[in-house]
């Protein structure tokens, strides 16, 4: 089998209402969807997290290494692509591009062997996962104390066992909102915080001390991803576990985080940190360091499907009769094509998501929908 072509479909759709978080605002959702075709007629799908245009340009640059390559030799291809731009491309968009390619190659491998990816990776260790609701973004107008409390009440009513709250704006206001949300959802539902690196260590510690009595599951991206000393200082100062890693890349990037034990919940994005091949390696490294792994997910149904295949094979950590189980990040914010491009959308039932067990990623792409969102 040989790769005959690789196409990037840039999809984009405006939002009915813009939303923002600590460091940015979305007025549209966009994604670089990767399609790899082969001489056997098998097609693989992947997705790159991050800016779609630059990822598409990087994939164009990787093309000479892909055309005529054996798509089953995905480990060799990963090494070739990484080596091609190693000197200038160890993090960021070049690795996001490799991620989309690697996911598509795994999709082809699964279809070739008529097996789900997780089976070819030696799983499954689990056939379904608990999902936590990601949302609570800010609107341009209205009182967050009102509309966010309404939103989380909705997630609780849907059956989610945990929700994640966006903070990172102003410490006192954030603390008041966290307290209000905890009151709305009660003590049986997990509550995590995500500052999207909107604080520095001073404010992150101040906020942490104000809310650490509220049984917070984790405090995500308290400070800038480059500030590992900041993470370590916050960890030493407050009684809330730290999460992060959606802005880190490859086993080489995560090595330092693990070595310094800067993060308690590692969150590589499968569509950014190096794809399924690399994220399995990062997960095994995390396991060796005794660190929990919860994939970051914020893309279309393709990125979601890739995360689910990985979740199926994440090692138990810690080992034991009732090990802690990894969670699925289930983005509830508006995304016009997240599910529209899927023939069978991935949905939750009472906060539980079944891991697709069809060949490859276990999904089928609706080409008409794909064309509708293409720019």
Q: Which residues form the interface with Ca ion (CB under 5 A)? A: 194
Half-sphere exposure of residue 47: CA atoms within 13 angstroms, side-chain side: 25
Task: For Ca ion, give the closer residue by CB, 78 or 218.
Answer: 218
In DSSP terms, 327 is beta-bridged to: none
Task: For Ca ion, give the closer residue by CB, 128 or 203.
Answer: 203
The two three-digit tokens of residue 90, written as one number: 């160890």
Please tell me the distance from the alpha carbon of residue 124 to that of residue 122, in angstroms, as a whole number. 7
118 catalytic? Reply is no
Least distance from C-beta 221 to Ca ion, angstroms?
5
Determine contact, residues 230/202, Cβ cutoff 8 Å.
Answer: no
Task: For Ca ion, give the closer residue by CB, 107 or 194.
Answer: 194
Give the number of residues written for the chain.
375
Determine contact, residues 276/311, Cβ cutoff 8 Å.
Answer: no
Residue nearest Ca ion (C-beta atom): 194
Least distance from C-beta 296 to Ca ion, angstroms?
6
Least distance from C-beta 194 to Ca ion, angstroms?
4
**SS (HEC) of 258-309:** HHCCCCCEECCECCCCCHHHHHHHHHHHHHHCCCEECCECCCCHHHHHHHHH
Task: For Ca ion, give the closer residue by CB, 35 or 194.
Answer: 194
Least distance from C-beta 332 to Ca ion, angstroms?
14
The residue among 167, 248, 245 whose CA lies nearest residue 204 is 167
The alpha carbons of the chain give a radius of gyration, in whole angstroms, of: 20
Give me the catalytic one of 296, 316, 335, 348: 296
- For the annotated catalytic residues, the residue numbers are 296
């Amino acid at each position: 089998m040989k790769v005959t072509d690789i196409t990037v479909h840039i999809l984009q759709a405006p939002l009915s209402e813009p939303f923002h978080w600590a460091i940015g605002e979305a007025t549209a959702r966009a994604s670089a969807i990767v399609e790899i075709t082969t001489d056997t007629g098998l097609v693989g799908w992947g997705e790159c997290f991050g800016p779609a245009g630059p990822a598409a340009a990087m994939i164009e640059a990787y093309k000479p290494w892909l055309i005529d390559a054996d798509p089953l030799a995905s480990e060799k291809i990963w090494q070739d692509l990484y080596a091609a731009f190693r000197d200038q491309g160890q993090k960021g968009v070049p690795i996001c591009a490799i991620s989309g390619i690697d996911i598509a190659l795994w999709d082809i491998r699964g279809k070739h062997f008529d097996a789900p990816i997780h089976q070819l990776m030696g799983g499954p260790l689990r056939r379904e996962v608990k999902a936590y609701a990601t949302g609570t973004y800010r609107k341009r107008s209205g009182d967050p104390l009102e509309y966010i409390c309404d939103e989380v009440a909705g997630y609780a009513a849907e059956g989610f066992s945990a929700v994640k709250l966006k903070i990172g704006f102003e410490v006192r206001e954030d603390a008041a909102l966290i307290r209000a949300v905890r009151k709305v959802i009660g003590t049986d539902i997990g509550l995590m915080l995500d500052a999207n690196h909107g604080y520095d260590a001073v404010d992150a510690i101040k906020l942490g001390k104000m809310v650490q009595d509220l049984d917070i599951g984790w405090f995500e991206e308290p400070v800038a991803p480059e500030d590992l000393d900041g993470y370590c200082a916050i960890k030493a100062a407050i009684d809330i576990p730290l999460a992060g890693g959606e802005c880190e890349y490859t086993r080489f990037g995560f090595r330092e985080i693990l070595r310094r034990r800067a993060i308690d919940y590692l969150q590589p994005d499968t569509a950014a940190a190096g794809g399924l091949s690399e994220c399995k390696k990062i997960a095994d490294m995390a396991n060796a360091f005794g660190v929990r792994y919860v994939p970051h997910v914020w893309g279309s149904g393709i990125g979601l499907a890739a995360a689910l295949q990985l979740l199926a094979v994440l090692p138990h950590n810690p080992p034991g009769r009732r090990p802690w189980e990894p969670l699925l990040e289930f983005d509830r914010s508006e995304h016009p094509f997240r599910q529209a491009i899927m023939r069978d959308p991935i949905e939750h039932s009472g906060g539980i998501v079944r891991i697709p067990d069809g060949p490859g990623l276990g999904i089928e792409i609706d080409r008409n929908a794909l064309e509708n969102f293409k720019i």
